[in-house]
A = this chain, B = another copy of it.
């Protein structure tokens, strides 16, 4: 994996770059649609490509339980299995495992839990998580991290942060020697909302000289302002020349704000989840299609949008599909929403390249304020 920074913004820390994996170039800042179960919900790979998607993120935890990583491996890996020949990042599933109600036991060795399907005991460790991701053949792997909820005591956050470091070292060891697929491994910075822990986590993680650095444990309920504060001091300490990935974020305004702080990679379920619930992203807010205001509205979701949905269908039609319980409703609005996020990133990259990122950011945040999100 190669990362090149091709242009930096003079008035902020934003940068335009390219990540090169064995499945192509990913222009950054990038938004990665979430394909947890080896599908970006309700969309075909062809539709994702059409929108300019260059990378998606799948989940090692989910795929190891179903269909099982060996089924995927037998297909020649996740790219072939899901028909996506561009870059794939796999999250380890740390976040999911620690969110489970039925976690039986967390030890230094790993986490034991009951499978949500058949109920059998499953054991996840750093080594196991690397094995799974090797079998999946993703381009960028994430280590097994210990996520804490918000709010969290300092002591607990410290313990989880230190465990994340030790587990990451075990991931590095598990990988050492052979890496024929050239799979990259990122580190994940934890530490909840505590500055000393975050900085300590950055220091310990960066020591491992990984391919990129993710900020985990944000957007978990701490609120916009606390998130920005943590990001400010955390991102600043990460190496300049490696990709920085803000996991699970998020809203357009949060993304653009984080781009200004120097974040390169994002993923979030918002565009697809909102799409399935009838909420369409437009500049400055959302259109909630169940609202009766759209019953006879012949306009597209966004008259400036050139996605298939906006070129073809009206708000009234989409609203009709939702009321009729039609699957196509979810597909069409997910498509528009993912397109919206891809355009947002494309505009952000264009603004960085042309030296107008500051204006772009101000314009977007102003529109969001007016929209009264």
Residues of A within 8 A of B (CB): 37-39, 41-46, 66-67, 71, 74-75, 81-83, 276, 295-296, 298, 308, 312-314, 316-317, 319-321, 323-324, 326-328, 330-332
Q: Which of A44, A313, A316 has the most CB of B within 10 A?
A: A44
A-B contact pairs, 29 of them (CB 8 A): A37-B321, A38-B317, A38-B321, A41-B326, A41-B327, A41-B328, A42-B328, A43-B328, A44-B308, A44-B331, A45-B312, A46-B308, A66-B323, A66-B324, A67-B295, A67-B319, A67-B320, A67-B323, A71-B320, A75-B298, A75-B314, A81-B314, A82-B313, A82-B317, A83-B312, A83-B313, A327-B327, A327-B331, A331-B331
Q: Which of A37, A83, A320 has the most CB of B within 10 A?
A: A320
Q: Which 9 pairs show the lowest CB-CB distances between chains A and B? A: A83-B312, A67-B320, A42-B327, A37-B324, A39-B328, A39-B326, A71-B296, A83-B313, A81-B317
What is the CA–CA distance of A328 and B74 in the complex, to the nearest angstrom?
Answer: 22
What is the CA–CA distance of A45 and B328 in the complex, to the nearest angstrom?
Answer: 10
Residues of B within 8 A of A328 (CB): 39, 41-44
Residues of B within 8 A of A331 (CB): 42, 44, 327, 331
Residues of B within 8 A of A42 (CB): 327-328, 331
What is the CA–CA distance of A66 and B321 in the complex, to the nearest angstrom?
Answer: 10
Residues of B within 8 A of A321 (CB): 37-39
Contact A316 B67 (CB under 8 A): yes
Residues of B within 8 A of A308 (CB): 44, 46
What is the CA–CA distance of A199 and B320 in the complex, to the nearest angstrom?
Answer: 41
What is the CA–CA distance of A330 and B39 in the complex, to the nearest angstrom?
Answer: 12
What is the CA–CA distance of A316 and B70 in the complex, to the nearest angstrom?
Answer: 12
What is the CA–CA distance of A83 and B312 in the complex, to the nearest angstrom?
Answer: 6
Considering only CB atoms, which chain B residue lies closest to A43 in the complex? B328
Q: Given contacts A67-B316, A83-B312, are A74 and B327 in contact (CB under 8 A)?
A: no
What is the CA–CA distance of A41 and B327 in the complex, to the nearest angstrom?
Answer: 7
Residues of B within 8 A of A298 (CB): 74-75
Smallest CB–CB gap between A295 and chain B, Å?
7
Considering only CB atoms, which chain B residue lies closest to A335 in the complex? B44
What is the CA–CA distance of A2 and B359 in the complex, to the nearest angstrom?
Answer: 59
Considering only CB atoms, which chain B residue lies closest to A323 in the complex? B66
Smallest CB–CB gap between A339 and chain B, Å?
14
Extra pairs beyond A44-B328, A75-B298 (11, CB < 8 Å): A38-B320, A39-B324, A41-B327, A44-B332, A67-B323, A71-B316, A71-B320, A75-B314, A81-B314, A82-B317, A83-B312
Contact B317 A74 (CB under 8 A): no
Considering only CB atoms, which chain B residue lies closest to A37 in the complex? B324
Smallest CB–CB gap between A2 and chain B, Å?
28
What is the CA–CA distance of A20 and B236 in the complex, to the nearest angstrom?
Answer: 67
Residues of B within 8 A of A43 (CB): 328
Residues of B within 8 A of A39 (CB): 321, 324, 326, 328
The one of B74, B276, B319 that contacts A296, using a Cβ cutoff of 8 Å: B74
Residues of B within 8 A of A66 (CB): 320, 323-324
